Chains A and B, each alone.
Chain A
């Protein structure tokens, strides 16, 4: 059996994720009352009372259109909650710029860069709720780390919706997120959905080559043994920039042996 209670002071927040169109306020009660409550919200800007259009869903939210921009006059939002046992209210006063907080960037994609074992290419899009990114451009904050480490690397970007990470650890899976903020005002968005990516790594081609030679020469009476003067291509000689290191001396010798056994 739950005891009905009068409402405690409601929790109220206001935010503009679609500046300069407007802002919304949403609220909730910190503890349930177990009986129906009604909410009344008033929004005052200077001497003007503004209309807060209630949402169908979620119910505890309403939207206000900006009638003025660039005002130094504060907004005052008062929320009153009433039920059969009492009422309570809270007031939130704020500047136009202070509540501007975009939604996180969307469609974050991270891809390896072919032949580049230390690079990852990241791209994203402006949040679809931000109405005019051309006149109200966003800047971005990218964070990334290998899964095996706890410390994030951060990059702030004032232009564009892509970035190439150039210092990734080769072969390690990375987790990457992006946040957005209006270029001039407000606060950073929440972090985007995390994406994972691993930088490009080269296939071990020299092992494949030796295996193939061993197969083709298995019919001969002597096993293949490179002459002592042959330069063997080792892993360290493979350049990470993507150029395939070719050991010409070994190549010529192998070709010569190949011809002998045809």
Chain B
């Protein structure tokens, strides 16, 4: 009994402390002063608002925005802003979770036997929580700029993180489904929380409907597997497959196919990538940073921890088809994009294609996958941090840079920003002085070792074509004469630090990559 409690102590702490955060982290406690910042209410009819001032809002008339919008009494930032308060609490929560999980003394099956804490899930879970702390840090300032007033934003993020952490530990199909749905639903609500923007509502609706459809297929697959075998534990299914190689069973194989399709949909692999552009564009940039990085860690972690033997003993090399399609889509689709978020979304499909290459190559290649993933995470942190830079466009609300031409003459206005963009774009393109090349090097090495020559040729062509649109961003920033002007606001200092550190890591890791490669090799050996 005591050992049971010790085995799920980190998750128990997470649940209890989440409850505490919900009770005490939303209303600010004793504050020495009340911040008199105003929340400008955009996209509101002026006529309706004219005659309806109330007394406590009149006091804030000194701080009105110039176009005389109605102001609310709720503060937009600081300790009085409940969402930012909870977000500030969430960062040490993530770091505490990181320490608890990294130093958990007992590596064993938890509770009912569907979750396994071993070296792999501890290491990858540590990466998840560390990166989540950085994502939340980056999002703190964006809550002020984008006017996020819901504390549910942070609560849903934390619940999604819990689901993702448990997904990495999952070894059973039931556990996988529940954790996947938990983090999906939380992300769906996060995508659509910005109800003032039609794009955001569209993003939430599309993500919800498509994820519900793919979860239906996933559940059908689980049902078929259970109908055929009576088993849901992945290890048992692997043993069953190994001993029934001669007579493959339709229900089991179809079930494995459908479950894999559901997982690949979450990873946004082509041809299941169609939701990516609209969802990444519509949601707040902080949500998109969360959505483009952390679910990928979780689902790839589950795949390699539990699911890969099942896939490779049934469909094995078919992953190369998904990988090739994703590479082609990632090469061609962003060419036509002028919206930065859509460009990054479709290019993330291409990166997923790269990440699926080792999944078709075999178990030795997983170290290369983790290297690529970690470099992709660092690059994403930098790029989305740069997108979370307040940008004033005349006549429009304060958001980040939206279109390609918003980065015009960036080298003249802010050389540091253009250097950061250059580092990020070159890393995404995978060009040599920056660390993205290290990730691609590992992947190509292992793909060639496993004789996937056609896939490597497609990957090289995809790299070549994607370099075009990545360098186009740099061309707009460095070379082109700007066609339209906008003014950048003040970037939050912690964001600037994180972007600078990410840039420094990207520049260093190609030349001093041994620690990264060795720790990823350890992670691959542990799976």
| Co-assembled chains A and B | no
